[in-house]
Amino acid sequence: MAYYAFLDENNVVTEVIKGIDETELIEGLDTETWYGNLRGQVCKRTSYWTKGGVHYGDDGSPAFRKNYAGIGYNFDGIGFFAPQPYPSWNLDPDTYYWMPPVPMPTEGDWYWDEETLSWIQYE
């Protein structure tokens, strides 16, 4: 089985379905093309077990398109990534995760303050 993400005109994911395996043809078409025609949208396959550019499943498959797609994710032709949480955060080219200018402390409960570009601990 494979998973497929449908994109809007801005390459934002609007829907993710579990679909037919990508090695099969549907009415003579590859799966992305057939599902895309069905919806009238661009359709891109996404890997359920790929996160941060690493494949975690036990089937031996390689990582594919950086991250499993979720509704609202973007696709840039290389991989899927979440919406940018803050203007100061940068997209890591390997993981396609958004990275803050300062790493979040590992102890305690924190939130990011974009005004001061720092982490604030919850009281």
Partner 1 sequence: MSLIGIIASQNYPRSFTVDYLVIAGGGGAGFIGGGGGAGGYRCSVSGENSGGGSSAESSLTLAPSTNYTVTIGGGGTGGVSGTGATTGVDSVFSTITSSGGGTGGSAGATFNGGNGGSGGGAKRDGGTGGTGTANQGTNGGTTPNGDFRGASGGGGASTAGGGGTGGNANNETGGNGGNGIASSITGSSVTRGGGGGGYVEGANATPGTGGSGGGGNGQKQSNSGSAGTVNTGGGGGGGNPSGGNGGSGVVILRYPSSITITIGAGLTGTESAASGGYKRATITAGSGNVSWS
Is there binding between residue 78 and partner 1 (CB under 8 A)? Answer: no
Is there binding between residue 110 and partner 1 (CB under 8 A)? Answer: yes
Is there binding between residue 52 and partner 1 (CB under 8 A)? Answer: yes
Is there binding between residue 7 and partner 1 (CB under 8 A)? Answer: no
Is there binding between residue 91 and partner 1 (CB under 8 A)? Answer: no
Q: Among 83, 111, 110, which Cα is nearest to 98's?
A: 83
| Nearest distance, CB of residue 77 and partner 1, angstroms | 19
Cα–Cα distances in angstroms (integers) from residue 47 to residues 38, 40, 52, 123, in the given order: 21, 22, 11, 39
Cα–Cα distances in angstroms (integers) from residue 54 to residues 42, 67, 75, 92, 99, in the given order: 25, 8, 17, 13, 17
Is there binding between residue 30 and partner 1 (CB under 8 A)? Answer: no
Contact residues for partner 1, defined by CB under 8 A: 1, 3, 15-20, 26-27, 34-35, 38-39, 48, 51-52, 56, 67-73, 82, 85, 89, 97-100, 104, 108-112, 122
